[in-house]
Amino acid sequence: MTAPTVDRAASRSGRWHIPITVEQRAASRFLQQLGVNLVALVLAFGLGAILLLMAGDNPLDVYREMFDRAFGSSRALRETLRSTTPLILTGLAVTVCFRMGLWSIGAEGQLIAGSVAGAAAALVLGPSLPAPLAVAAVVIAAALGGAAWATLAAVPRALFGTDEVVTTLMLNFVALGIMNYLIFGSVSYWRDRTNPGFPAGKVIPESTQLDPYFGVFDAGLILSLALALIVALALRRTVWGYQLRVAGDSRAAASYAGINSTRQIISVFAVSGALAGVAGGTYVMSITFALEPRAIAVNLGFVGIVVAAVALLKPLLVVPIAFLMGALLSTAPSLSIFGVSPAVVIVIQGIILLCVAGAQFFIRYRVRITRVEVGSR
Amino acid sequence: MPQDTELAVRTIGISKEFFGQSVLEDVDFDLRWGEIHALLGENGAGKSTLCSILAGLYHPTRGEMTLAGAPYGPHSPHAALEAGVGMVYQHFRLVEQMTVAENILLGNPDVPVRMTASGLADRAREVMDRHGLWIEPTKYVGDLAVGEKQQAEIIRLLNRGVKVLILDEPTAVLTPREAEALFAALRNLADQGRGVILVTHKLREVQQSADTVTVLRSGKKVAHQRVEDTTTHDLARLMIGDDLAPGSGSVDASHATGDELLELHSVSVVSDAATRPELDGVNLTVRAGQIVGVAGVSGNGQRELAEVITGLRTTTSGTIRLRGEDISSQTIGDRIKNGMGFVPEDRLTRGLVLGLEIEDNVLLRSQRDREFSIGPFLRLSAINQWARRLIDGFDIRGVRKGLPISVLSGGNLQRLILARELSRQPALLVASEPTRGLDVGAAEAVRTILKAERGRGVGILLFSGDLEEVLGISDEVVVMYEGRVVASRPASEVDVAQVGRWMAGLT
């Protein structure tokens, strides 16, 4: 007596005569999933084109310009790669949580926490340490900062089942508020005190500023690539990653397997937070060079959710997707010169997320058009 | 209530198949107006299926139905309700976040779209007065006791003009006093001329509150009688069947039972003080090389007992010892390490991780084993080899590289769980419904494996709804009723009829 679904479907279509059958796929191949998502990406740019047409722009011109701005020169490529680094890291942060079915949307706040901690480490230790050590110290401090911020949401989730969507979202605003306060609302350690009239972050010492190799990419990108590899290996080849995957698929099976859910939830959140925190730390070291709220809080954490979703929660796929999104982001400022609002980029991102989210339906289900027999009920 | 004919509902030759498997065969069933008609049978006898067909949730594969003499074939629960047939499911169809009044009037076409809370409450009061039932209409359903929720559900159906009321195991969740109140209410509804169908497996309830009883066994109707013409003894025999020879147990002297392996001493589980305890002072012993079979109608504490032994649930009081060591407060991981194997009842959601591949599934519960991990790292090649050995050794078919195990068939999935749990060479195996849903051959293979393990000195605690299976391979039979162990005998000393009576709560 375990087959009510079939009958219910029958009674439903019996009432409405919908000539479409939706069947769950037994399993879908990885390439199939990827293909569906790529189609969704193309569709998103197509819908974006319609939007541009409606605004009176020629979508082909805009897209060509965007392409040039993202890849056209080594300077353009450097900008793209600079945006790619934090997106790889926030994409990984989101991937780790989502794979366990923890719907954390707190990468934004954890990135900010990492920036604050990383900038502090740079300002304190930067002058006295040799460059490699100083950079390492900033990375570690940023990781710890992000992890600590994530733990604030993880502990209530693990102990009381508090909804992590709400707590992580709200903690984003708390982190943003704190960062704004440090620079705009107080004369804190992070603020540049030489110019009291103009609130700005104190510039970090040169030993912690990352220079691009060959004028194109910096150590932050290498670190993020290494972390993508490490996360992929950890998921595949460690007990921790195994337990995460089991818990993500079935909580009941996880408890049956003797997995301590409290410990697992907190550790997954902490790792996720650390990754987002490192995103903040490297962002300060390679782009802002100071705790600059307006440059740091640019939704890199939220875009990380898009990256992770499009990458099907596969750590290694996060890299190319982050590159694509990074390219999209780096074109935004230049579009205004072209007479197109930078908001177009955000709109296209939103459309991409919608298309990809919608596409998941076709990964899970097969849709067939069926002929209705006349007179059937 | 004006009635066209004496018969409220009649089914003629109703059959139902799920995926080619027959669960109801040629069932004729008559319900008169004004009677409480008990539908009696073991789990899987087809009671719920028959009721679901009457309530429009399923469609019969064959057969016809009439309602008040007119042809009746609801294509949805909604259509059944329009026709006047309503069902109270075991899981109530109520919105916990809404008030009683809102729930009662929900979906009622006469209620205006905009109505004040007090207006709704007044309407609900009026409805309740009309039917002689009462629950404070402004209370939130989430705050109600189980019995009250059930009443709210009944009132909701009555308000929709239900003439035939079907209740699926309504007392399963009730305290004795709540059950009494329910039966009084049902009697009142029957006296008003409605037809009431009461699905149950409790003989005492049939005797106390029904007028007529229809007994189903394995999807077929085996009896239809007036309750006053039967005895509980007869009903137990009809329900369980008497085709099993008494003492068909397998006990042969060839294997010696060893020391006490698992000992439970007055183990109780009370999750909610308002209802009866899930487990009530259970004493139980499993020896090495012994199969102890737990019989009982499902929902009498078997699931909780399995969970408490394996660590999925904590005891409220009492001790559990494994090889002399108190494990009552040990984690699941520790119990696994101490030699406990567990084949859970929910094999698809708990026993396996359907979205992952076979390697991940053979590793389940062994991920901390030295053989498969060094410190934090998994030994992937060892795991792969192990998976291949289990696939070959237990003839698991349909595995495809790179695809999740959800592509495997039910029998292969169950073999996979058994293979995994037994390959760890446990001292004690707790097996819940290990053959449910398997075809005859696969089920027999599982039983052969269990017997072989017993021969090797493994102690096995077998939970099964299949009485034939319990009596067939157990050395010792334990019967559970309402969270208590009501009997514990060597399998050779009991017969099916006796066990059936114990299962039904008789002594």
User: Which residues are B220's β-sheet partners?
Assistant: B217
Measure the CA–CA gap between B247 and B490, rounded to whole angstroms.
9
The structure tokens listed for A191 are 């603020």
Stretch B469-480: mean pLDDT: 91
pLDDT of residue B144: 84
Site from A2, A17, A233, A242 to mutate, B interface, most B CB atoms within 10 angstroms: A242
pLDDT of residue A374: 43
Distance from the Cα of B373 to chain A's closest Cα (Å) equals 7
State the CATH class of domain B247-339+426-507.
Answer: alpha beta
How far apart, in Å, are the Cα atoms of B446 and each of A82, B431, B449? Answer: 60, 11, 5
Distance from the Cα of A3 to chain B's closest Cα (Å) equals 7
A278 or B237, greater pLDDT: A278
pLDDT of residue A28: 60
Residue linked to tokens 């649930």: B313
With a cut of 80, say whether residue B251 has pLDDT above it: no
pLDDT of residue A11: 40
Give the other-Cβ count within 10 Å of A282's Cβ.
Answer: 29
The structure tokens listed for A301 are 């954490």
With a cut of 80, say whether residue B267 has pLDDT above it: yes
- CB under 8 Å to A211, separation ≥6 — which residues? A218
Mean pLDDT per 10-residue run, chain A (377 residues)? 38 48 62 80 88 83 84 86 94 96 95 97 91 93 97 95 94 96 90 83 90 82 96 96 94 92 95 97 93 91 90 92 87 71 76 79 70 43
Distance from the Cα of A252 to chain B's closest Cα (Å) equals 5
* Terminal C-alpha separation, chain B: 42
Measure the CA–CA gap between B195 and B6, rounded to whole angstroms.
11
CA neighbours closer than 13 Å in the CB half-sphere of residue B188: 13
- Classify residue A373 by burial, with Cβ atoms within 10 Å: 0-12, 13-18, 19+: exposed
In this complex, the residue of B57, B344, B356 whose CB is nearest that of residue A256 is B344
pLDDT of residue A348: 78
Q: Does A7 touch chain B (CB under 8 A)?
A: yes
pLDDT confidence band for B281 (50 / 70 / 90)? very high
Q: Which residue of B has its CA nearest to A246?
A: B353
The structure tokens listed for B1 are 């209530």
Q: Tell me the pLDDT of chain B averaged across its residues.
A: 86
The structure tokens listed for B432 are 């819940």
Give Dmax over CA atoms of chain A in angstroms.
86
CA angle centred on B375, ends B374 and B379, rounded to 5°: 30
pLDDT of residue A349: 73
Measure the CA–CA gap between A118 and A281, rounded to whole angstroms.
5
Within chain B, all domains assigned CATH 3.40.50.300 are found at: 7-240, 247-339+426-507
Q: How confident is the model over B320-329, as pLDDT tens digits?
A: 999 989 999 9
Q: Are B259 and B242 in contact (CB under 8 A)?
A: no
3-state SS, residue B80:
helix
- CB under 8 Å to B401, separation ≥6 — which residues? B357
* Terminal C-alpha separation, chain A: 24
Measure the CA–CA gap between A108 and B323, rounded to whole angstroms.
52
Q: Test B76 with A11 for CB contact under 8 angstroms.
A: yes
Measure the CA–CA gap between B235 and B407, rounded to whole angstroms.
43
Q: What is the CATH number of domain B7-240?
A: 3.40.50.300
Task: State the DSSP string of B206-262.
Answer: HHHH-SEEEEEETTEEEEEEEGGG--HHHHHHHHH-S-SPTT-----TTS---SEEE
pLDDT of residue B411: 75
In this complex, the residue of B355, B360, B403 whose CB is nearest that of residue A242 is B360
Task: State the DSSP string of A151-162.
Answer: HHHHHHHHHH--
pLDDT of residue A369: 67
Helices (H), B278-433: 302-310, 332-337, 358-363, 380-393, 410-423
Measure the CA–CA gap between A330 and A78, rounded to whole angstroms.
9
With a cut of 60, say whether residue B247 has pLDDT above it: no
- Residues within 8 A of B (CB atoms), A 197-236 only: 236
Closest of B7, B14, B5 to residue B65, by C-alpha: B14
Distance from the Cα of A242 to chain B's closest Cα (Å) equals 8
- Amino acid letter for position B355: G
Residue linked to tokens 């019996």: A14
B274 or B198, greater pLDDT: B198
Q: Are strands B459-463 and B291-295 parallel, antiparallel or unpaired?
A: parallel
In this complex, the residue of A1, A8, A239 whose CB is nearest that of residue B48 is A1
Residue linked to tokens 């109505």: B115
- Phi, psi (5° rounding) for residue B264? -110, 130
pLDDT of residue A20: 62
Residue linked to tokens 């698929």: A249
A110 or B467, greater pLDDT: A110
B338 or A18, greater pLDDT: B338
Question: Which string of b and e fits A142-180 if b means at least 16 CB within 10 Å?
Answer: bbbbbbbbbbbbbbebbeeeeebeebbbebbeebbebbb
Closest of B434, B431, B489, B436 to residue B462, by C-alpha: B431
pLDDT confidence band for B142 (50 / 70 / 90)? confident
β strands within chain A, DSSP E: 20-24, 365-369
Measure the CA–CA gap between B15 and A176, rounded to whole angstroms.
65
pLDDT of residue A284: 95
CA angle centred on B289, ends B338 and B268, rounded to 5°: 60
Residues making up chain A, counted from first to last = 377
Measure the CA–CA gap between B261 and A191, rounded to whole angstroms.
69
Distance from the Cα of B76 to chain A's closest Cα (Å) equals 6
Report the Cα B507 to chain-centroid distance in Å. Answer: 22
In this complex, the residue of A1, A10, A239 whose CB is nearest that of residue B367 is A239
- CB under 8 Å to B28, separation ≥6 — which residues? B10, B11, B12, B13, B14, B221
Query: Chain B partners of A240 at a C-beta cutoff of 8 Å?
Result: 376
Measure the CA–CA gap between A44 and A321, rounded to whole angstroms.
14
DSSP B350: I
- Classify residue B235 by burial, with Cβ atoms within 10 Å: 0-12, 13-18, 19+: buried
Q: Test B351 with A255 for CB contact under 8 angstroms.
A: no
In this complex, the residue of A4, A246, A258 whose CB is nearest that of residue B336 is A258
User: Which residues are A217's β-sheet partners?
Assistant: A213
Closest of B44, B43, B41, B67 to residue B54, by C-alpha: B67
Measure the CA–CA gap between B213 and A137, rounded to whole angstroms.
79
Q: Are strands B428-432 and B377-378 parallel, antiparallel or unpaired?
A: unpaired
Closest of B329, B343, B356, B348 to residue B431, by C-alpha: B343
User: What is the ipTM score, two decimals?
Assistant: 0.79
3-state SS, residue A254:
helix
